[in-house]
Amino acid sequence: MSDDISDAKVLLQQARVLRQQGENKKAIKAYRDVLDLDPDCIDALNEMGEVLIKIGEQSEAIRAFDTAISKRPKDYRAHSNKAEAYLTIGDFDSALMAAEEGLRHCPDSEELWVKKARALESVFKIEEAAEAYRQALKINSTDPEIWKALALTLDALQKWEEVARAYTIAADLHKRRGEMQDYESCLRFAKMAKESS
């Protein structure tokens, strides 16, 4: 069995290289070969599922994520990926259920809070979406993308001062990363929000 596991690790690396090269079909086959040797390889299930989403095979991707969830329910990745699969096909209610199920197991996953927020936005529950983004920011306040997503929901709610604050924080985070174009863009949006209030 240990030979199978070490062979599976080599195959997993090959699958990752194929994926990076955009060889999606070959990558999927390599991930399946990994799973033949090591059916409990959560990385292979999640990564294969992500490639399946990319090529439009959402049903198959969801099956891979469900398998990963059944093997390791407290690993946030499969829950998050399952929610993403549903979001990509516009099944927002199922995306919301997948994110909420994941949060029951992994309440400290900012990624799952973001998926929940995106699903809520998609069904026009903007106030709840803003709250889900705030929960994500309690876990990780250093991601400018979450601040910008929050700003957009607050914009829809016409909470201009909060919009300006969220964009200002996002701008500062981009500046610290040296992302000057994003920094300037966020500052412009913050200024527009202040002018609206």
Please count the structural domains in the chain: 1
Q: For residue 185, give its domain range.
A: 141-197
pTM for this model (two decimals): 0.91
Would residue 25 count as lying in a domain? Answer: no
- In this predicted structure, the answer to whether residue 181 has a pLDDT above a threshold of 90 is yes
Query: pLDDT tens, 159-170?
Result: 999 999 999 999
Mapped onto helix, strand or coil, the DSSP state of residue 141 is coil
Structure token pair of residue 5:
């596991």
Would residue 149 count as lying in a domain? Answer: yes
Would residue 57 count as lying in a domain? Answer: no
| Confidence at residue 197, expressed as pLDDT on a 0 to 100 scale | 78
User: How many residues does the structure list for the chain?
Assistant: 197
Would residue 160 count as lying in a domain? Answer: yes
Structure token pair of residue 143:
């991601």
Residue 124 per-residue DSSP state: T
| Confidence at residue 8, expressed as pLDDT on a 0 to 100 scale | 86
Cα dihedral sign, 110-114-120-124: positive
Residue 35 contacts residue 45 (beta carbons within 8 Å): yes
Would residue 67 count as lying in a domain? Answer: no
- In this predicted structure, the answer to whether residue 4 has a pLDDT above a threshold of 80 is no
- Rounded (5°) CA angle 118-121-122: 90
Query: pLDDT tens, 145-163?
Result: 999 999 999 999 999 999 9
Q: Spell out a b/e string for 111-147, using b for 16 or more CB atoms within 10 Å of the CB, else e.
A: bbbbbbbbbbbbeebbebbbbbbebbbebeeebbebb
Would residue 66 count as lying in a domain? Answer: no
Compare 144 and 4 and report the one with higher pLDDT: 144
- Distances 162 to 135, 190, 196 between C-alpha atoms, Å: 16, 9, 12
